[in-house]
Amino acid sequence: EVQLLESGGDLVQPGGSLRLSCAASGFTFSIYAMTWVRQAPGKGLEWVSTIGTNDDTYYADSVKGRFTISRDNSRNTLYLQVNGLRAEDTAVYFCAKSLVVDGRGYFDYWGQGTLVTVSS
């Protein structure tokens, strides 16, 4: 059974940093791209960042230069280093596993999310 368990969310002051983690199990982590998606309170879903199997990375413009996605295949864990946090980064952060079909990856499994609150 595929399981994704996020952790690391917290209340942090503007300008602060956090490292979010997503522990994966139930599948061969190293052969799948992984993604972070966030959802601000009462709002819709927003793609944040994706890391491919070759460590190729992609970022939304809103987080580029402040967030860094990485993975540790030996620990089956996905990370998101978030720096320079702003109030608008307040959200639940979900990790998602990508399954490639016809050359493109869609999100077939999601974790339960971890809440990041940015406030003074």
Residues lying near other proteins in the complex (CB under 8 A):
35, 37, 44-47, 50, 58, 60-61, 94, 99, 101-102, 104-113
Q: Of the two residues 74 and 102, which places its CB atom closer to other proteins in the complex?
A: 102
**Closest CB 113 distance from other proteins, rounded Å:** 6
**Closest CB 50 distance from other proteins, rounded Å:** 7
Q: Of the two residues 5 and 76, which places its CB atom closer to other proteins in the complex?
A: 5
**Closest CB 25 distance from other proteins, rounded Å:** 16
CA distance 17 to 112: 21
**Closest CB 103 distance from other proteins, rounded Å:** 9
Q: Per residue, what are the HEC states of the chain?
A: CCEEEEECCCEECCCCCEEEEEEEECCCHHHCCEEEEEECCCCCEEEEEEECCCCCEEECCCCCCCEEEEEECCCCEEEEEECCCCHHHCEEEEEEEEEEECCEEEEEEECCCEEEEECC
- The one-letter code for the residue type at 40 is A
Q: Of the two residues 23 and 60, which places its CB atom closer to other proteins in the complex?
A: 60
Q: Of the two residues 16 and 46, which places its CB atom closer to other proteins in the complex?
A: 46
